[in-house]
Structure 1
Amino acid sequence: MRIIKTILFVASVILSPMINASQNSPIPMLEQTANNIIATLKENKANLKSNPNIVYQAVETNLLPIVDVAGMSRSVLGRQAWSKATNSQRAQFSKAFTRLVIRTYSSPLAQYTNESIQFLPLRGSLNSRFLRVNSIIVRAEGQNIPLSYSLVAQNGQWKIYDISVEGVSLLQSFRSQFAAALQNSSIDEVIKLMEKKQLKRAS
């Protein structure tokens, strides 16, 4: 759970304005998204812990539109389970997973302490469907943390489908959380498990 909080904390950091990216680079999109969230956090800093809905709304409004939640849902559920699920179960799973993503991304944001992030030079072709953006979280105290965004091009827009911190994948972390439940329970039970996790994060 600690590693997920570390992974998702990156959504709250201020992205470095020093990047000289091309028009098709995803970096300006990531920068704008993070800056919008940071503005909300700074404006409401005194109330973040007592009113988590402030953070939830900031994440849902700014970050969620650039996350490939649908693709992540299919990946976490797995090809076999997804193919066996009914349309109703797929919709329910995606809805529950979306709420879980919002809660998971939001949970560490109240702990924001002016961290920043510096991007490394982009590698690979911007014409590729998949792209990885490597960066470093710069901390006021302690060691800096390597961070990677995995993005996919969809309809002319880059979308995040995974985030890795120190080589640990958020997507893999979600998969491992639900792997046993998917093997031993029905999809409906997995959805209930996800909803319980949301309630736990919200408490």
Structure 2
Amino acid sequence: MQRRRLILATGLALAAPAPAVWAWDDKGDPFAFVVDVSNEILDEIRRDPALAHGDPEHVRQLVDGKILPVTDFTLMTRLTVGPDWRKASAEERQRLEQGFRGLLIRVYSGALLQVKDQRCELRPTRVKTVKDEMVIRTLLKASGQKDLGLDYRIYRAKDGAWKIVDVNVEGIWLVENYRSQFASVLSSEGVPGLIKMLETRADELAAKNKAKS
């Protein structure tokens, strides 16, 4: 579980304000884009002691500065909520996004403690066909540790930029995993119940993290 959280934190968390010029090209080679994004996030974690210790505010800055610009988080949230997304009002959709984002930030703050000398590399493959929708398969490597699989589902947006919409951690897709967790709440309490659950869980995790600090 700790290893899965580490990879998800690397992929989505889920630092200091982002630089004005990105180190990656979000409209170029999708394989290089995914690897460059992952490694810049890892470098940022190592550079910022507060981020490396999982400080939620620094994690939030990382998400706002580096993750959200390369992620279609609205689509990710919609896919996670499933068919009930269509029943939600504009305000409820906004709260669902905020609640899901807050939950991920709190959950993965603790995982950043595991980041040491990890680097992201493409899995060995002879096929590098570029399509508008792709799964980029990578490995997270660290000295003295087993390689860990991390796959990104991406698509090319209308402006030509690549956007991340899902992450697979050793066979477990983030969207599918959370969708199964949310299904029972949506079935019994609907969208308002899921919003309440997300906000309550984020508050509980925040209090837990504060108590540890």
TM over 0.5: yes
Q: Which residue of 2 aligns with 1:18?
A: none
> Considering only aligned residues, what root-mean-square deviation do their CA atoms show, in Å?
2.7
CA distance in 2, matches of 1:51, 1:132: 31
Structure 1 residue 180 displacement after superposition = 0.7
Report % sequence identity: 26
Give the alignment's TM-score, normalised by structure 2: 0.77
Q: Which residue of 2 aligns with 1:86?
A: 89
Q: Among 129, 133, 136, which residue is 2:132 paired with?
A: 129
Q: Which residue of 1 aligns with 2:19?
A: none
How many pairs align? 192
Gaps of 5+ in 2: 14-24
The secondary structure found in structure 2 opposite 1:117 is: strand
Q: Among 77, 80, 84, which residue is 1:76 paired with?
A: 80
Q: Which residue of 2 aligns with 1:16?
A: none
Q: Which amino acid aligns with 1:201?
A: L
Query: Could you list the per-position Cα deviations for residues 109-142 of structure 1 after superposition, in whole angstroms to 9, with x for gaps in the alignment?
Result: 232111112113474632x221111111113233
- In structure 2, relative to structure 1, the CA distance for the partners of 1:43 and 1:146 (3 Å cut) is closer
Structure 1 residue 99 displacement after superposition = 2.6
* 1:8 equivalenced with 2:8 (yes/no): yes
- The answer on whether the counterparts of 2:6 and 2:108 sit within 8 Å (CA) in structure 1 is no
Q: Among 42, 51, 54, which residue is 2:46 paired with?
A: 42
- The answer on whether the counterparts of 2:46 and 2:52 sit within 8 Å (CA) in structure 1 is no
Q: Which residue of 1 aligns with 2:173?
A: 169
| Stretch deviating more after TM superposition (89-98 or 1-10) | 1-10
* 1:199 equivalenced with 2:200 (yes/no): no
CA distance in 2, matches of 1:191, 1:103: 16
- In structure 2, relative to structure 1, the CA distance for the partners of 1:176 and 1:44 (3 Å cut) is same
* 1:58 equivalenced with 2:78 (yes/no): no
Q: Among 157, 170, 178, which residue is 1:154 paired with?
A: 157
Gaps of 5+ in 1: 13-20
- The answer on whether the counterparts of 1:89 and 1:187 sit within 8 Å (CA) in structure 2 is yes
- The answer on whether the counterparts of 2:151 and 2:167 sit within 8 Å (CA) in structure 1 is yes
- The answer on whether the counterparts of 2:166 and 2:174 sit within 8 Å (CA) in structure 1 is yes
Q: Which amino acid aligns with 1:141?
A: G
| Stretch deviating more after TM superposition (173-182 or 55-64) | 55-64
